[in-house]
Structure 1
Amino acid sequence: MPPHGATVSGGATHFRVRSPRATALWLCLGDARIAMQRDGDDWLASVAGDLTGQAYGYRAEGQWRPEAGLWFDPAKLLVDPYAITLDRRFVQHPDLARFGADTADIVPRALVAGPLPVVPHAPPRFTPGDLIYEINVRGFSMLHPDVPAHQRGTVAALAHPAVIAHLQKIGVGAVELMPITAWIDERHLPPLGLRNAWGYNPVAMMALDPGLCPGGVAELRNTVAALHAAGIGVILDLVFNHTGESDVHGGVLSLRGLDNEAYAHAPDGRLINDSGCGNTLDFANPAVRALTLDALRHFARHCGVDGFRFDLAPVLARGPGFAADAPIFAEIAADPWLNDRVLIAEPWDIGPGGYQLGRFPPGWLEWNDRFRDDVRRFWRGDATLGQLATRLAGSSDIFGPTCRSVNFLAAHDGFTLADTVAYAGRHNHANGEDNRDGHHENWSWNHGVEGPSADPAITAARAADLRALLATLFASTGTIMLTAGDEFGRSQRGNNNAYAQDNDLTWIDWAGGDRALEDHVASLAAARAARRAYANRFPEPGQWRRPDGAPMTVADWEAADGDALSYTPEDAAAGTLHIARHQRHLGWR
C-alpha cells in the first residue's frame, strides 16, 4: 500500500489521500479528472509512468453542511495535505469560501516530488546551552548588501559566506527559522494592502513556501548542509496548532474539503479556537498526529534539520485538555528519526489552562517568557535581585533541577530589544487595527522620550541598558535565544506585532546597524563559551554575595531597592559575576 501523498515506484505514480466522509474523490492531472477508489478512510489512484514534476490536486464530493462539519464542494481544487512541493504561493480570494465557485485558477497545485535522497542520520549540531538565533527568512536578507539580489529573501541566502561569518562572529549554535512552509495571508490583510510577513498561517505542512524556498527540498537541504559545515544547527519553527483555512468564514483549501474532522469541534459543532486563529487542529485524532509525525520525519530525513520549535505547543497535547503524557509526545519519543532531535515548545496557547510553562516532557526545551519579563523588569527598576538571580540561575522555580529553559529578551512577537528601551507603548497603527493589536504590557521604558532621540544622555542611557540586558542573557544558565538584528539594535519603530509588515519595517537594516553593539555581543559570546561548563549548571545559593562580601539574606533578595550582588562559581578561576543595577553593569571579572 503506498503512503499518503504522491509516490513514484514500480513504473507508476501512486496517489493516496484521506477523506473518510467523501462520497467520491477525483485526482486532477491537468484537465483530466481520474476517479479514485475508496480504501477505508483513504482514496487511491495509480497512473502509469514516472510523473515527477507533474502538477496535481483533488476534488471531493459529499455533503455541504458546514454546521455539521461537512464542507464538500467539488468546485474546490484541494491541495494534498501531504504535498511536498507547490507550483506557486497561496493567495486569498473570496471564491475560496463561496460554495460552488471553482478555484482551479486560484489554488496552488502540488507537484509530484519523486524519490528524495535521505540525509544520513547524525546527532544534532546543537547542544542545550548554546545560542539560538531566530530568523525571519525573508526579512533577514532582503537588505543584506553581500547577498546576491536573486537570493535575497530566500533560504539559500542563509548559506552565503557573509551570513555564515556573521553567525560565527556572534557565537550562534543554531538558527531557528520562522515558518518556511506554505502559508496564506489572513483574510483581512489584502484589503489593507498588507501581507503576512511571519508565516504562522500554514496550509500545507510539508510543502516549502515557493517564495521563501524556490529551490524546494534541495534548497533547504543544501542550506542545512552549508550551515552544518560551519558548525551551526538548523531548527524549524513549525505550526501544527491551526491552518490558514481559519474560522467558518475561511476558505476551503485542503483539509477542510477533504477531512474536516482534523479540526477540533465543541459538542455543539462549533470550531474550537485554542489557537486564536479561528480553528485548532485536533491532536486527539490519530490522523492529525500521523500527518504531524510524517512532516517532522520528512524534514529530518530529507533535509537533515536538527530540531523543531512548536508554535502554541499546548495544542499538541489537547483533546480535550493539556497532558504531559499526551500521545504525540510518546510517539515522537519512540520515533528513531525524531527522538534525538531538539524539541522546543512555545508553552502557551489561548485555550483553557493554556499556560503550560515547565510542564512539557523531559528533554523538551521551553520558551521562558518569565525570563524575558523579569529581566526587563529588573533593569527597568521594578523587580528584585532575587527575581533576577532566579532567572539567571535557570529558573529552577519553574523547571526544577534540570534546566530546560530557553532564555530570551525579545522574539519575533513583541518589541525588538532596542525598542524595549525606546518605547513605553506599542505603535501598531500601520497594522490597520487602530493600535488595538499586539501586547499592551511589554515591561518597556523609554528614558523620557518616546522613540528616536538626539539627546546624547538618552541615547547613552539606552545603549547602557541594551548592554546590560544582553550581558544578562549571555550570563544566564540555560539555552539562550537572540532574534536576528537585535545584536546590532534593529528597530520596528515601536511596532510590537509586525506580522503584517513585509517591508522595511521588518527587513533588517544591515547597513544601519550598531557595529559597536554587535562587537559587544561577540565579546559576550566569547565569554560565555569560555565558561561553557556553567551554561546548564544551577549556581549554589551560598555562592551569591552582597557587595560587602557577606552572604545574601532573605531581606537582601527581596528588597525593592536592591542594587548589587555577585556570584562566584566553585571554580574561582572562572571569575566572579558582578551585578550593579544603577551602574547598568553585569559582567565577569
Structure 2
Amino acid sequence: MHDTIPSKLPHHGLSAGRPEPLGASFDGGGVNFAVFSAEAEAVDLCLFSPDGKRELARIPLRERDGDIWHVYVSGLLPGTVYGWRVRGPHRPEEGLRFNHNKLLLDPYARKIAGRLRWSDALLGYRPGTQRSDLGQDTRDSAFAMPKAVVCDTGSFAWGDDRPPRHRRSLSVHYEAHVKGLTAAHPAIDRRRRGTFLGLATQPVLDHLDRIGVTTIQLMPVQAHLSERFLVEKGLTNYWGYQTIGFFAPDPRLLCDGEIWEFQTMVRRFHSAGIEVILDVVYNHTAEGNQLGPTLCFRGLDNRAYYRLAEDPRYYIDDTGCGNTLNTRHPAVLQMVMDSLRYWVEVMHVDGFRFDLATVLARGPDGFDTHGGFLGALRQDPVLRRVKLVAEPWDLGPGGYQLGAWPHPFMELNDRYRDDVRQFWKGDRGTTSGLARRLLGSAELFDHSGRSAASSVNFLASHDGFTLEDVVSFTVKRNWANGEENRDGHEPNHSDGLGVEGPTSNPAILAARARRKRNMLATLFLSQGTPMLLAGDEIGNSQEGNNNAYAQDNAIAWVNWDRPDEELARFVSWIARMRRDHPVLRQKLFLHAQSRQRDGIADVFWRKADGSSPSVEDWHDPEFRTLCLELRAASTTPVYSMSDDVLFAVINAGDDVQVSLPQPPEGRRWRQILDTSRATQATAFLAAPAQAVHVSGDSVAVFDASL
C-alpha cells in the first residue's frame, strides 16, 4: 500500500511497514514506525524539521494489526525528528482523553531532542473553566514539546566488552547521581562535568576502585521532566523520578546529545571491572493526575497505560506522584519488558533498581510474587541473568513488602538503616535489633532459597540525610525546597553530638568522625550487600537537607573541594577487610547451628566477659557491648567451607576489657580493625592473650591467623 507524501517530502515513499518492533526502526533504506493504541480512531505520524520547530509532514497510518498502528517511510535517515497525534473519543468521565491537537512523544523513543516548555497548551483541557479537565483544549502543543529522534542504536563498537558479573556476595554497591557525583569534581573537564562521559573519567574510576566499589547504582538516567510547580519556583526535578521516556537517556546528561555517550560510559566502567545498575521508575510517569499535561501515554491510550479509579475520570495513585502505570495491561507490560531488555542488550547495563517496586508486583488480589510483572521478569532469558534490586514498598494497600520478594531479587533494607543509626545514636533497647541486622536480617530474608546477599544494607541513600548529616544534625533543614520544611523523611535517627550543623570544635569533630567510622565498620561487618551513598566516604554534607530532590546545585552535588581523605582511606581499609574475609560475605545465613565439619557453631554471641547473653540481657537497655565470633555457615558444603574465623566487638558503651575466645588450634588473634583510631593497621596480640582493651564507642575486629 502506498500513500501520497506531502510535497515537502518529494523523495520519500510510504508502504505498510510492520507492527514490530514498536517505535522507529531504521533499516538502511528507511524507517518503520509502529505504535500501540487500542482505542484510537486514527493515528498520524508527524515529521519535523531537524530543530523540531516546523512540522513538515503529517502522515496518516492506514495499517493496523490488532492494536498496533504502523507505516514504513522509505528514504528517512537517523536524525529524523517525529511525534504522534492520535484521534479518538474525548470523554474524560469514562477515562478517554484523546486530543488530536496535542503532539505526543513516542513511548519507544530511543532519543529525545528539545526541552519541554511549560504551557497551558500542553494540557488536554483549558484550565480555569467550569468543566476543568472534562473540557477539551484545541491549541496545538507541538511548540512546547520535546520530540523523538530516529537513531541507529546498533552501530556502537563494543569491542570485547563483557559484563563483570560480580557474585552478589562479593558486591559493594555505590548509589550515585550522574551529575551530582561529577558537577563539582575539579579533575574532570568542565564540559563533561555532570554527564555520562564525565562520570566515566579516570579520576572517578580510580576513586571507586580505591574504596572497593564493584557496582555503581545510578539514580534515574531515563528521560524525565521537572514538574511545573518546581519550574515556576526556579527549581528542577534533580533526582529524576518523573520519567517520560523509558528507552531514552536524559538529554541533560549528554554532552552532544548522542546515545553513544551512555554506551561509552558503560564500556569504561566494565573495563574497570565495575557493574552499572540503573534506578528505573516504571511505577508512574511524568503526566501526573487528571489535571496533568497530555504528553505521551495519556493521549495514546489513557485507559490502557494507567490504572484508573472506580470513577475513571481519576487515577489510582499508589506512588504519590498522581498516577500509577498499569503493568497489568499486556501492552504496558510489554513496554516495560522491552525497555528493560533494551538497556541490557543495546546499552549493556548489568541490572536495575526498581523504584517503588511493590506497584509493579501488585495484582488484583494484592502483592503477587508469581504472576504479572514478576512472573514475566523471572522467566525472561535476558533479564533473569542481571542483578535485580527492589525498593520493596509503595504508598498503596499492603505496600510495605520488605523480605517478601522472590529469588533472585535483592531488596533495600530500610530497617538496617534505622536500627544501625539508633544503636550508635545511643537509643536504649536497640542491641537485639542490631544483632539481627549483623546477620543479614535472616528473620526477613531466609526463606525460599534466598541468599544472605538479598539484603541491601545501607546507612544513607539519596532519600534522607547523608552520613555526614546523620552525625551533624538532629532535625532536617529543607527550607530551600520551598515547602516550608514540611517535606522529607522522618524520623532521621540522627544526632549532632552537641552542636547542630557545622562546627570547628575539635572534640565534636573527632566524635563525629568516630561515629561515622563505627557505622561504616558495622556496615561492612554485616552479612548482606553493603551500599554506600556517593560522597559519604569523603564526608559530603547536604547542609541538613534530607530531601534534596529539587536541588540541582551545590546542596546536592558531591563537594570535592575538601574531601575527607582520612575517611576515604578508612573505607578502603574496611572494604579490603570484607574482601579478604569470606565469613563477612556469605551466601548462606548464620543461625548459631553446629557445623557438620567440626561441631562448632557458625556464630557465637558473647558479652564482654565471654559469657553468652541471656534473654534478659538481650532486652536490657544497658546492654551496649556486643561480641560475636563468626565462622562459615553451618549449611555450607564441607568441600567449600573456609577456615576463616573472625571475632568482632561492637561497643557503644564505655571502655571495657573483653575476654577473647580460644582461637583455633595453631592460630592466634590478630587485630585488623579499631575504629577508635582513624589510621588502621594490623597487629598480632601477645600470645597467649586472654583479654583485650576495647575503647568506648568503637568497633574492634580480630582474625584468627596462622
The TM-score range, normalised by the shorter chain, is over 0.9
Counterpart CA distance in 1 for 2:146 and 2:367 is 35
State the match for 2:698 in structure 1.
Answer: 585
What does 1:338-377 align with in structure 2 at a 5 Å threshold? 338-377=383-422
8 Å CA contact 2:481, 2:550 repeated in 1? yes
8 Å CA contact 1:89, 1:211 repeated in 2? no
State the match for 1:488 in structure 2.
Answer: 538
| Equivalent AA in structure 1 for residue 149 of structure 2 | L
Bigger radius of gyration, 1 or 2?
2
| Equivalent AA in structure 1 for residue 443 of structure 2 | D
Summarize deviations over 1:374-425 as a string: whole Å, max 9, x none.
Answer: 0001111124321111101100011115321000010000111111111111
- Comparing 116-125 and 104-113, the one that deviates more: 116-125
Summarize deviations over 1:518-555 as a string: whole Å, max 9, x none.
Answer: 11111111111111343134344351211111122222
1:433 to 2:491 alignment: no
| Equivalent AA in structure 2 for residue 262 of structure 1 | Y
| Equivalent AA in structure 2 for residue 407 of structure 1 | N
State the match for 2:344 in structure 1.
Answer: 300
Counterpart CA distance in 1 for 2:231 and 2:139 is 20
Q: 1:326 aligns with which of 349, 371, 389?
A: 371
State the match for 2:73 in structure 1.
Answer: 47
1:526 to 2:566 alignment: no
TM-score (norm 2): 0.81
8 Å CA contact 2:163, 2:275 repeated in 1? no
| Equivalent AA in structure 2 for residue 125 of structure 1 | R
State the match for 1:32 in structure 2.
Answer: 57
What does 1:268-417 align with in structure 2 at a 5 Å threshold? 268-269=311-312, 270-320=314-364, 321-382=366-427, 383-400=429-446, 402-403=451-452, 404-417=454-467
- Comparing 9-18 and 390-399, the one that deviates more: 9-18
8 Å CA contact 2:617, 2:623 repeated in 1? yes
In the superposition, relative to structure 1, how do residues 391 and 533 fare at CA in structure 2: closer, same or farther (>3 Å)?
A: same
Report the alpha carbon displacement of residue 587 of structure 1 after superposing the two structures with TM: 3.3
1:157 to 2:218 alignment: no
Q: 1:205 aligns with which of 226, 241, 246?
A: 246
| Secondary structure of the corresponding residue to residue 561 of structure 1 | coil
Report the alpha carbon displacement of residue 117 of structure 1 after superposing the two structures with TM: 4.5
- Name structure 2 gaps, 5 residues minimum: 1-17, 49-55, 126-136, 593-602, 632-641, 654-695
State the match for 1:61 in structure 2.
Answer: 87
Counterpart CA distance in 1 for 2:578 and 2:66 is 56
Q: 1:222 aligns with which of 264, 268, 279?
A: 264
Percent identity, aligned pairs only? 45
Summarize deviations over 1:92-127 as a string: whole Å, max 9, x none.
Answer: 333211422211111111111135148689565332
Summarize deviations over 1:456-493 as a string: whole Å, max 9, x none.
Answer: 22222111111111111111101110010011111111
- Comparing 23-32 and 238-247, the one that deviates more: 23-32
| Equivalent AA in structure 2 for residue 66 of structure 1 | P
| Secondary structure of the corresponding residue to residue 259 of structure 2 | helix
8 Å CA contact 1:418, 1:466 repeated in 2? yes
8 Å CA contact 2:369, 2:375 repeated in 1? no
State the match for 1:557 in structure 2.
Answer: 618
Summarize deviations over 1:190-233 as a string: whole Å, max 9, x none.
Answer: 11111111000000111111111345431121111111111110
State the match for 1:110 in structure 2.
Answer: 148
8 Å CA contact 1:96, 1:103 repeated in 2? yes
Counterpart CA distance in 2 for 1:225 and 1:13 is 28
8 Å CA contact 1:125, 1:173 repeated in 2? no
8 Å CA contact 2:110, 2:247 repeated in 1? yes
Structure of greater relative contact order (alpha carbons < 8 Å, 6+ residues apart): 1
State the match for 1:473 in structure 2.
Answer: 523
- Size of the aligned set, in residue pairs, is 589
State the match for 1:576 in structure 2.
Answer: 647
Report the alpha carbon displacement of residue 9 of structure 1 after superposing the two structures with TM: 2.7
| Secondary structure of the corresponding residue to residue 247 of structure 2 | coil
Counterpart CA distance in 1 for 2:463 and 2:351 is 21
Report the alpha carbon displacement of residue 239 of structure 1 after superposing the two structures with TM: 0.4
Counterpart CA distance in 2 for 1:463 and 1:94 is 51
- Comparing 90-99 and 160-169, the one that deviates more: 90-99
Counterpart CA distance in 2 for 1:516 and 1:91 is 46
1:455 to 2:505 alignment: yes
Counterpart CA distance in 2 for 1:163 and 1:532 is 28
| Equivalent AA in structure 2 for residue 238 of structure 1 | V
State the match for 2:281 in structure 1.
Answer: 239
| Equivalent AA in structure 2 for residue 552 of structure 1 | P
State the match for 2:496 in structure 1.
Answer: 446
8 Å CA contact 1:577, 1:588 repeated in 2? yes
1:251 to 2:293 alignment: yes
Counterpart CA distance in 2 for 1:286 and 1:124 is 33
| Equivalent AA in structure 2 for residue 538 of structure 1 | F
- Which segments of structure 1 move beyond 4 Å, counting only runs of 4 or more? 117-124
Report the alpha carbon displacement of residue 455 of structure 1 after superposing the two structures with TM: 2.1
Summarize deviations over 1:2-39 as a string: whole Å, max 9, x none.
Answer: 31000123723110001111111110012210001233
| Secondary structure of the corresponding residue to residue 222 of structure 1 | helix
Report the alpha carbon displacement of residue 557 of structure 1 after superposing the two structures with TM: 2.0
Report the alpha carbon displacement of residue 322 of structure 1 after superposing the two structures with TM: 1.5
What does 1:138-217 align with in structure 2 at a 5 Å threshold? 138-214=179-255, 215-217=257-259
8 Å CA contact 1:567, 1:578 repeated in 2? yes
| Secondary structure of the corresponding residue to residue 567 of structure 1 | strand
- Name structure 1 gaps, 5 residues minimum: none
Tell me how large the CA RMSD over aligned residues is: 1.7
In the superposition, relative to structure 1, how do residues 115 and 539 fare at CA in structure 2: closer, same or farther (>3 Å)?
A: closer
